[in-house]
Amino acid sequence: MPTALTGKTALVTGGSRGIGAGIARELARQGASVALTYRKSREQAEEVVAELVALGVKAVAVQADQSVPHKASTAVEEAAEFLGGRIDVLVNSAGVAVMGTVDQLDQDLLDGVQNMFATNVMGTVVTTHSATRYLPDGGRVILVGSTVAERIPTPGVAAYAASKAAIDQLGRGWARDFGPRGITVNVVRPGATDTDMNPADGPFAATQVAMTPLGRFGRTDDIAKAVAFLASEEAAFITGALLTVDGGSSI
């Protein structure tokens, strides 16, 4: 039985783990063929691919270090070739987080911050630029941001928040740029979400839950369903939006 994305193709960066993997699974459940990128763990990526194939769609994992422009660009080309030369839905999910207050910025931490901006911001720019030739008119671009782009709840997240604030503005600006082609561009902004980077039983979990009216961490499915909606025809007149999915923690 056809579903919302039957016959569509999607590229999900950072799709081998966490929120990215959840998004890849949901798009596959909705019928899309999926290419996903991973940075290090091919085995983990192939496990996700096997799950997607079991859902009855085509899927492939492509290695890419988003912080290196030519590698990010090459990954898009490889994904597009697998997907038949067309990327209907581009989801920029790959990202890293480096925490620390400004007075703690030794050389190692500064290097980490530089890599974070190269990955989170420039990686998103290069990937989207490279995908432009494969995006059909009426396609979808979805960026995964964060609620910290707007509201900083704890010390030590300023640099990460700045990288995600850049994502918000890229999404808004690209909505203008792509508008004449009917391509929508939106940002999904998760709050605390249960992943290996921020587990629901981690040392900071209780504080995050206490700030959330719904009283729990988000699940990757919560984020993935929002992305799938924005990828669907039902969202054809939504562009330049910042969709917050955080259980109300940023109220």
Is 160 known to be catalytic? yes
Of 38, 117, 134, 160, the active-site residue reads: 160
Residue whose C-alpha is closest to residue 182's, from 140, 143, 126 = 140
How many whole angstroms separate alpha carbon 78 and alpha carbon 7?
Answer: 19
Strands 9-13 vs 89-92: parallel, antiparallel or unpaired: parallel
Alpha-carbon distances of 159 from 18, 112, 133, 230, rounded to whole Å: 21, 10, 32, 28
- The helix-helix angle for 123-131 and 69-82 (nearest 10°) equals 40
Q: What tokens appear for 108 in the block?
A: 């190692």
Residues with catalytic function: 160
